[in-house]
Amino acid sequence: MEIKVTKSNFENDVLNSEKPVLVDFWATWCGPCRMLAPELQKLDKDYGEKLTIGKVNVDEEDALASAFRVSSIPTLVLIKDKKASTVSVGYRTKEDLESILKSQGII
């Protein structure tokens, strides 16, 4: 399932999630972010029962971006057991993302 993450729902929908959450820090004007979106949708389609995809628009949620020290986008942060376990910066293919998730024991 893909969710819009904001400061107001971050604790409930990300930190307290039953499943790990792959948080995508992105912006509408970011080309690599637009390229990454379909890869994340494929991941959600294949692994949605094991993983939640969270989307943080850095232009709307600068406090969250600052909290995770996001300086380049897209930045993906895997939140597992209430903490960031993996950070990836830049475009990634579905296969790259699957490797990350396998290394973390999620898929």
Domain ranges of the chain: 2-101
Give the separation between CA 4 and CA 98, rounded to whole angstroms.
22
Mean pLDDT in residue range 27-44: 97
The token pair at 31 is: 């080309």
Residue count of the chain? 107
Name the β-bridge partners of 25: 56, 75
CATH superfamily of 2-101: Glutaredoxin (3.40.30.10)
Which of the residues are catalytic? 30, 33
Q: How confident is the model at residue 1 (pLDDT cuts 50, 70, 90)?
A: confident
Give the separation between CA 43 and CA 1, rounded to whole angstroms.
10
Residue 69 has pLDDT above 90, yes or no: yes
Mean pLDDT in residue range 10-36: 97
For 49: left if phi > 0, alpha if psi spans -120 to 50, otherwise beta; the answer is: alpha
Measured CA angle at 83 (ends 56, 74), to 5 deg? 30
Residue 86 has pLDDT above 90, yes or no: no
**Mean pLDDT, the chain, integer:** 96
